[in-house]
Amino acid sequence: MPPTARRGHRGPGPAQLARTLETREKVLRAAIEIIAERGLDEATGRRIAQRSGVSWGGIQHQFGDKAAILDAVLDRVLVDFRARIARFSPRATSVEGRIRAFVDATWDLMRDSTYQAFREVMRAARTRRGGPGARALRSVAAALESMRDQLFPELSERRRALLNLVLFATLSGMAEQARYGVVAPRLVRKQLEVLRTTLASIVREG
């Protein structure tokens, strides 16, 4: 039997799998950073290759094309998002304490570069009805609703919806401010304080 012959096909070994995972991680992290910093249109194959240190040929070998990279970005965002939500374990029992926990946890998520990239990809995927963007949005909404319901089980469905509306309208605007300009920390603290007061009123009236 020739030296190169094989008795059967074997999959990649542990070392090769580790290199593959490392390469994919570099590419995904680079794509997320570029999308969050500069927008989806600026996340070209050339820029992702430069930022990740992986050649475009290597990226194509791992992912195929840019659309596949974006789908992988959505998957990564959801994994990170659900992991953060799973670690959320509020101990506060007062309305103010629960509001603070809810606002602070959500703000930490929404100002992160991973979530910023998610928003950019979602904007592009908005027209793809039933595609990965729609599924990702439902998954994120379900995770946040689970956190909200854990904190405010006494609220009616109508009040919970209002809570979400005010929370996301405010924090989305703040996230855009943080992305496109420098906002003084004291103003951010003031915005969060006003938001907590508003949400506490909604809970008490519910």
- Asked whether residue 117 is assigned to any structural domain, the reply reads yes
Overall average pLDDT of the 133-153 stretch: 78
Is 132's pLDDT higher than 60? no
pLDDT digits (tens, 9 = 90+) for 76-92: 877 877 777 777 777 77
5 — pLDDT class (breaks 50, 70, 90)? very low
Average pLDDT, the chain: 82
- Has this prediction a pTM greater than 0.85? no
Distance of alpha carbon 87 from alpha carbon 27, whole angstroms: 26
Distance of alpha carbon 14 from alpha carbon 53, whole angstroms: 22
Domain count, the chain: 1
pLDDT digits (tens, 9 = 90+) for 155-181: 898 998 899 899 988 998 898 887 777
Distance of alpha carbon 105 from alpha carbon 171, whole angstroms: 11
Q: Which domain holds residue 37?
A: 14-205
- Asked whether residue 49 is assigned to any structural domain, the reply reads yes
- Asked whether residue 112 is assigned to any structural domain, the reply reads yes
- Asked whether residue 6 is assigned to any structural domain, the reply reads no
What CA–CA distances, in Å, run from 95 to 70, 151, 202? 39, 9, 10
Overall average pLDDT of the 27-44 stretch: 89
21 — pLDDT class (breaks 50, 70, 90)? confident
Annotate the chain with DSSP letters as a single string: --TT--SS-----HHHHHHHHHHHHHHHHHHHHHHHHH-GGG--HHHHHHHHT--HHHHHHHHSSHHHHHHHHHHHHHHHHHHHHHH------SHHHHHHHHHHHHHHHHTSHHHHHHHHHHHHHTTSTTSHHHHHHHHHHHHHHHHHHHH-TTS-HHHHHHHHHHHHHHHHHHHHHHHHS---HHHHHHHHHHHHHHHHHHHHH-
Within 13 Å and on the Cβ side, how many CA atoms surround 38?
A: 11
Q: Identify the pLDDT of residue 145.
A: 82
Higher pLDDT, 118 or 95: 95
Overall average pLDDT of the 111-135 stretch: 70
The CATH number for 183's domain is 1.10.357.10
Alpha-carbon Rg of the chain, whole angstroms? Answer: 21
- Asked whether residue 2 is assigned to any structural domain, the reply reads no
Q: Identify the pLDDT of residue 193.
A: 96
